[in-house]
């Protein structure tokens, strides 16, 4: 894999469903004016159907393939100043975890299980949670994914009790420091 010689100044948001990636992404976009790239929206637009339908009709593997392929596309040289909001399961593939770190500063937005449950079970837009035991599924997936988020992220933000504005301004300070003193 080609590793870029200079780190692009993208800010990449990762984290479990309902952790606030889209809201914080919009806040960062307002603050910085960088282009906001919502990967799930792009996949839906290209497929011409919502993610629930992609899962139903084409299967989860097809969705994951589209996710990886879009990620590879985003890693091509281009606009190096974007806010990239990812889907919660993007860290599942080893290839994706490497690509994410090449893409820029990776921030893991972490939120407590109960907050995640409250936010996600209101909507039926997440195929992995359309089950009768959605709360158990959240517990299981969170346990499985936490080490992968931790491995991928440059920064973990505990969002408990913070507004999206507070999360965005805190992580921006860290991002500025990182871009001035890359690994």
How many residues make contact with ligand S3P (CB under 6 A)?
10
Per CB under 6 A, the list member of 127, 135, 139, 155 interacting with ligand S3P is 127
**Whole-angstrom distance, CA of residue 131 vs CA of residue 51:** 16
* Smallest distance from ligand S3P to CB 21, Å: 6
- Indicate whether 20 belongs to the interface with ligand S3P (CB under 6 A): no
* Contact region with ligand S3P (CB under 6 A), list: 29-37, 73-81, 120-128, 174-182: 120-128
* Smallest distance from ligand S3P to CB 69, Å: 14
Strands of 5-76, DSSP E? 10-14, 35-38
H or E element at residue 122: none
- Indicate whether 87 belongs to the interface with ligand S3P (CB under 6 A): yes
* Smallest distance from ligand S3P to CB 164, Å: 14
Per CB under 6 A, the list member of 97, 101, 126, 154 interacting with ligand S3P is 126
Cα torsion angle, 33, 169, 5, 180, sign: positive
**Whole-angstrom distance, CA of residue 27 vs CA of residue 162:** 13
**Whole-angstrom distance, CA of residue 27 vs CA of residue 23:** 6
- Indicate whether 97 belongs to the interface with ligand S3P (CB under 6 A): no
* Smallest distance from ligand S3P to CB 126, Å: 5
- Indicate whether 106 belongs to the interface with ligand S3P (CB under 6 A): no
**Whole-angstrom distance, CA of residue 59 vs CA of residue 136:** 22
H or E element at residue 113: helix 113-120
Enumerate residues 25-84 that contact ligand S3P by CB under 6 A: 40, 51
**Whole-angstrom distance, CA of residue 83 vs CA of residue 35:** 6
Footprint of ligand S3P on this chain (CB under 6 A)? Answer: 17, 21, 40, 51, 87-89, 126-128
């Amino acid at each position: 894999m080609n590793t870029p010689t200079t780190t692009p100044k993208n800010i990449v948001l990762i984290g479990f469903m309902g952790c606030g990636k889209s809201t914080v992404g919009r806040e960062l976009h307002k603050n910085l004016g960088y282009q906001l790239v919502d990967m799930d929206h792009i996949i839906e637009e290209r497929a011409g159907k919502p993610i629930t339908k992609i899962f139903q009709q084409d299967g989860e593997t097809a969705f994951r393939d589209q996710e990886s392929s879009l990620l590879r596309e985003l890693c091509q040289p281009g606009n190096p100043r974007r806010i990239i909001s990812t889907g919660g399961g993007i860290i599942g593939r080893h290839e994706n975890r490497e690509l994410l770190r090449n893409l820029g500063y990776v921030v893991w937005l972490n939120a407590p299980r109960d907050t995640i449950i409250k936010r996600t079970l209101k909507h039926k837009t997440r195929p992995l949670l359309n089950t009768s035991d959605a709360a158990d599924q959240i517990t299981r997936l969170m346990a499985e994914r936490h080490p992968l988020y931790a491995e991928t992220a440059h920064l973990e933000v505990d969002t408990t009790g913070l507004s999206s504005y507070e999360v965005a301004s805190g992580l921006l300070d860290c991002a500025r420091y990182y871009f001035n003193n890359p690994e």
